[in-house]
């Protein structure tokens, strides 16, 4: 692949979902095995992004990437654990986070969810944990966060069971609709998505599970799962036909008023209905 082709490939990466942020706006950490390699890489990325951050070695660059992802994984694990505590105390964790985020320093808001997904955050922390063992180090903090995040689908299914019980239903035989299977909103990426583990757990308990995701029309075989499922159409009639609807990925294109008005019971894992008194938070 020539340099110009590589430049064009990188430029064509879609803009990030966060409004106003494009690929070119995100600084790129660069390095190389030799000083000349680093200079070439820096020259390439300088023509594509606004800022580059050269570091001394490729090991430093790799550790930088690991730190970024571990920072998020640990903080998401923290807020996921606090979500469970707040729920037991009948406290809205999203209101707590929003209030804490008004502090202009010393706090960065992270939000709970049904578990981690994507190709970086669920994997990189464990890569470092494995590598650290070669040096006789046990990364307890990182592993604990991983355990908490990995357990979130189990917690979500528990909340689903409780919500159904409030309506006099059991999980066995219940019709459950999953809203969103992508690992985050507004994308079609299903790598390491927690939605698959939730589907698996529900099916193990003999629930009848369907899904709707406008970005993922058909589920294909992955390393761990092989669901033969297609996205169903969403309508008032469709929603009313399910015993429970669970919001696992909060795509912006969802008609949240339609869902709220027609679903018999909603379990929200993303906080879209954080102010609703009737929606179950999970």
171 near 160, Cβ under 8 Å? yes
The answer to whether the Cα torsion of 248, 88, 70, 252 is positive or negative is positive
Alpha helices in 113-255 (DSSP H): 124-133, 140-150, 152-166, 194-204, 236-240
Q: How far apart are CA 163 and CA 171, in angstroms?
A: 10
Q: Is 37 a catalytic residue?
A: no
Report the 10 Å Cβ neighbour count for 209.
20
Q: Which two tokens stand for residue 106?
A: 């010393």
Q: How many CA atoms lie within 13 A of 19 on its CB side?
A: 1
Residues 120, 123, 151, 232: which is the catalytic one? 120
Report the 10 Å Cβ neighbour count for 206.
11
Which active-site residues does the annotation give? 120
């Amino acid at each position: 692949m020539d340099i110009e082709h590589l430049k064009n490939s990188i430029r064509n990466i879609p803009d990030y979902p966060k409004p106003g942020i494009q690929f070119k706006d995100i600084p790129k950490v660069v390095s190389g095995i030799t000083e000349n390699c680093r200079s070439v890489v820096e020259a390439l990325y300088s023509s594509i992004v606004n800022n580059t951050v050269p570091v001394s070695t490729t090991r430093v660059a790799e550790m930088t990437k690991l730190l970024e992802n571990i920072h998020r994984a640990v903080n998401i694990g923290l807020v996921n654990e606090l979500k469970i505590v707040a729920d037991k105390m009948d406290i809205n964790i999203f209101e707590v986070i929003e209030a804490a985020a008004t502090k202009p320093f010393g706090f960065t808001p992270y939000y709970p969810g049904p578990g981690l997904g994507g190709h970086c955050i669920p994997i990189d922390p464990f890569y470092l944990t494995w590598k650290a063992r070669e040096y006789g180090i046990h990364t307890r903090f990182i592993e604990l966060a991983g355990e908490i995040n990995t357990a979130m689908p189990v917690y979500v299914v528990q909340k689903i069971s409780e919500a159904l019980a409030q309506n006099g239903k059991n999980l066995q035989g219940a019709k459950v609709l999953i809203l969103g299977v992508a690992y985050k909103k507004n994308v079609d990426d299903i790598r390491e998505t927690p939605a698959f583990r939730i589907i698996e757990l529900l099916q193990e308990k003999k629930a009848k599970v369907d899904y709707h995701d406008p970005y993922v029309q058909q589920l294909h075989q992955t390393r761990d799962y092989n669901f033969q499922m297609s996205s169903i159409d969403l309508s008032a009639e469709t929603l009313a036909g399910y015993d429970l609807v669970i919001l696992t990925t909060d795509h912006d294109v969802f008609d949240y008023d339609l869902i709220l008005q027609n679903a018999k019971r909603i379990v929200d894992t993303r906080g879209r209905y954080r102010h609703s008194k009737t929606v179950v938070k999970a």
